[in-house]
Chains A and B, each alone.
Chain A
């Protein structure tokens, strides 16, 4: 079991560029989510999905898109990167009805 994997580990973007952060899990979890972590802010929920084909917004969804075509994958798209999106992004997954979320190692994004 690889658990939750995220790519890339690091990324530098220029303002206005677009990119996709990849997230995959091999635990057959229905629930997947994306968080961003900023200094002194804890983790804030961006988008989440309760199963393939179903996504919903979290606390800070603006500037991000998601889709869930398979159970395993939950990519996060930045449409037009802004410096305010400089952050560490974590993907997580869990079984429906259980509390334990398994987090990926994170993607560190710098937008210049």
Chain B
């Protein structure tokens, strides 16, 4: 089955730094989603994107839907300790929310004291 490639696989940053990560696919998706997974928990939806070129923010998080529809990007500004976790992208072929998601391999974010 298809997997989305996320990079980087892991990041070690200091508190206050900005973070950028991306997700690429060999197929086109019409919905891109970004999830965060805290240790020992299930993933939680952060941002949903529905249109090529769309830029959407949720607090300090900003995500973009790539214009080729084969990639998406997530930025976190001024990182804080609670940002630690694994970030997953997910793609869906349609905008209707009724189709199966394909998840990325995840980016693990660690904040160095």
Contact A40 B97 (CB under 8 A): no
Give the residue name and chain of the A residue nearest to B45 (CB). A100
Is A44's beta carbon under 8 Å from chain B?
A: yes
Contact B45 A101 (CB under 8 A): yes
B24 to chain A, nearest CB (A): 13
CB-CB under 8 A from B33, the residues of chain A are 99
Among B4, B48, B92, B100, the residue within 8 A (CB) of A42 is: B4
Q: Which of A13-21, A70-78, A102-110 contacts B (4 or more CB under 8 A)?
A: A102-110
Q: What is the number of contacts between chain A and chain B, taking CB atoms within 8 Å?
A: 60
Contact A92 B100 (CB under 8 A): no
Grouping DSSP codes into helix (H, G, I), strand (E, B) and loop, the B interface class, with mixed when no group exceeds half, is: loop
Q: Which of B14-22, B56-64, B65-73, B102-110 contacts A (4 or more CB under 8 A)?
A: B102-110
Give the residue name and chain of the A residue nearest to B41 (CB). A105
A93 to chain B, nearest CB (A): 11
Interface residues of B in 15-65 (CB under 8 A from A): 31, 33, 40-45, 48
Contact B42 A90 (CB under 8 A): yes
A60-B1, A99-B97 are known contacts. Are A42 and B42 too (CB-CB below 8 A)?
A: no
B110 to chain A, nearest CB (A): 16
- The CA of A53 and the CA of B109, in the complex, are separated in Å by 40
Give the residue name and chain of the B residue nearest to A3 (CB). B42
- The CA of A99 and the CA of B1, in the complex, are separated in Å by 21
Chain A interface (Cβ within 8 Å of chain B)?
A: 4, 31, 35, 40-45, 48, 50, 58-60, 90, 92, 94, 96-101, 103-106
Chain B interface (Cβ within 8 Å of chain A)?
A: 1, 3-4, 6, 9, 31, 33, 40-45, 48, 88, 92, 96-98, 100-101, 103-106
Instruction: Identify the 5 closest CB pairs spanning chains A and B, nearest first.
Output: A103-B42, A59-B1, A42-B103, A43-B103, A99-B97
Can you spell out 5 A-B residue pairs with CB atoms less than 8 angstroms apart? A40-B9, A41-B3, A43-B88, A45-B101, A105-B42
